[in-house]
């Protein structure tokens, strides 16, 4: 189940969602992280199993050292709290390389695969780019 990073106003409602999700054996995901007023306190307050980094942080990250630093700080805080990180909006191989080097575990975006109602294999060129990026980040 997802909640948006800015949607933290009602503590009782979020607590109720967390309890229901625990009973289902699932976890909470925070969508649109790194937008609006989201910050590291959301990681402690919401205790999600996954945060999804918004495209506004990812788009052009390969050319922006400040956003690369923000990415690394978010991933570091998430990792310390056993929270997985997904980067949304990967549109180029260069962005893919930067987010993987920054420690992001999951990726999605047009570079990976176009939206589809059918299950389609990821192109070999993309899987090769992911493998190469992971190899270089180690």
DSSP-derived secondary structure letter, 34: T
CB 138 within 8 A of CB 102: no
The structure's pTM equals 0.75
Find, among 53, 60, 62, 11, the residue nearest to 32 by Cα.
Answer: 53
Query: What residue ranges define each of the domains in the chain, with the CATH number in brackets?
Result: 2-137 (3.20.20.450)
DSSP-derived secondary structure letter, 6: T
The tokens for 121 are 């294999």
Name the helix (H) or strand (E) containing 90.
none
Quick one: pLDDT at residue 10? 65
* Tens of each residue's pLDDT in the chain, 138 residues: 566 555 555 667 777 777 888 888 887 777 767 665 456 666 777 778 899 999 999 999 999 999 999 999 999 999 998 999 999 999 999 999 999 999 999 999 999 998 889 888 888 998 998 888 888 876
Quick one: pLDDT at residue 95? 97
The tokens for 101 are 């080097």
3-state secondary structure string across 46-69: HCCCEEEECHHHHCCHHHCHHHHH
């Amino acid at each position: 189940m997802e909640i948006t990073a800015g949607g933290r106003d009602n503590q009782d409602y979020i607590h109720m969602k967390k309890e229901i999700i625990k009973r289902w054996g699932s976890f909470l995901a925070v969508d649109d992280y790194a937008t609006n007023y989201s910050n590291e306190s959301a990681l402690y307050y919401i205790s999600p199993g996954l945060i999804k980094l918004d495209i506004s942080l990812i788009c052009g990250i390969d050319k922006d050292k400040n956003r690369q630093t923000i990415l690394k700080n978010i991933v570091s805080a998430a990792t310390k709290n056993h929270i997985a990180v997904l980067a949304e909006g990967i549109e180029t191989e260069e962005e893919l390389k930067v987010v993987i080097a920054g420690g992001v575990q999951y990726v999605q975006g047009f570079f990976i695969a176009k939206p589809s109602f059918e299950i389609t294999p990821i192109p070999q060129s993309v899987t090769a780019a992911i493998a190469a990026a992971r190899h270089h980040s180690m």
